[in-house]
Amino acid sequence: MQNNKHSANRLTYALNATGKLVYIDEVPNGNKCCCFCPACKEPLIAKNQGFKRMHHFSHQSGTECDYAMESMLHLLAKEKIREAFLLKTEFWIEFEYKSFCSQQNECKFTRYSDCYESKRLRFDIKQYYDSCEQEKPYDYTNRRSDLKIFSSTHNNREPIYLEFTVTHASDLKKLHSGNKIIEIRINSEKDIINIVENGILEPNYYNICEYNDNNEINLQEIKFYGFKNKDYKNNKIDNEIEFVRYILYKSGKTQCFQDVCNCKNLKKSKLSSLLEICFHTSVSLGIYEQARYIGFQKYKPLSR
């Protein structure tokens, strides 16, 4: 029994006698196909006749390989996406760019989420690169990439590396090596076709999920490493902050109430106040007692 999540899929590509990846309907039926498992290299049988069942390869030994589908998808992704890049006049990548508030690290308010504006950046990388090769070494590290996209005419132009993952995540040291790397999760042939037809598009929260034929959720993860995808220079961001304001007057009178203000324009609400304390919370329970205690410690004679 296969123990990986692709066990329900059929092996539709295999290696021929010369090591080339071939499709099930491109070879003779039965043992005459002369094909081998892309993982264990055992001889296969081509089952490509009839109309009731999906055409596929199976092992001649009758024992299926646990890693056949994983190896097939990995090899297929490298071949088909490289071919698409070289043959197409345009090849697009797209990712999210976040511009964070310039006061992100100095903000005194409790942040329940990051303050930023986001947009999608889209590039036709065929305008900058013309070459794509398999299993080329990375810059800055002794590891190899699945695909290396580079310019044959501009040697100083930083290349883009593609890493395809099926069941095992990429090496973290490789991903954080400083190179421009796109890590792509491949769950099925459909994921490969999607990239061939549309390019490499980082999913957002609205399109990350889709359902397979068994009504199970698939997540195609595409992550960009080493790309400039954020900054901390946005001076236009401001938010309405809800908080609890405590006021101590010179007379000893106090007030405690809910208030709102712009996050960049917090100031005293009463010129006659002796002390004002703002608690960034929408819940005032227990705040008044805490504020009175602080006021008492600071101005003991007035708080008696």
Q: What is the DSSP string of the chain?
A: ---STTTTS-B-EEE-TTS-EEEGGGS-SBGGG--B-TTT--BEEEE---SSS--EEEETTS---TTHHHHHHHHHHHHHHHHHHHH-S--EEEEEEEEEETTTTT--SPPSS--EEEEEEEEEGGGT--EEEESPBPSSSS-B-SEEEE-SS-TTSPPEEEEEESSSPPPHHHHTSSSEEEEEE--SHHHHHHHHHH-EE---TTTSEEE-TTS-EEE--EEEESS--EEEEE-S---EEEEEEEEEETTS-EEEEEEEEETT----S-TTEEEEEEE--S--TTHHHHHHHHHHHH-TGGG-
Per-residue pLDDT at 208 exceeds 60 = no
Lowest mean pLDDT segment, chosen from 123-132, 138-147, 227-236, 238-247: 138-147
Per-residue pLDDT at 211 exceeds 70 = no
What local confidence, expressed as pLDDT, does residue 304 receive? 46
Per-residue pLDDT at 261 exceeds 50 = yes
Lowest mean pLDDT segment, chosen from 65-69, 93-97, 203-207: 203-207
Percent of the chain predicted with pLDDT > 70? 88
- pLDDT tens digits, residue range 53-64? 889 999 999 888
Per-residue pLDDT at 134 exceeds 50 = yes
Per the model's pLDDT, the better-predicted residue between 229 and 3 turns out to be 229
**Average pLDDT rounded to a whole number, residues 178-187:** 93
Per-residue pLDDT at 26 exceeds 50 = yes
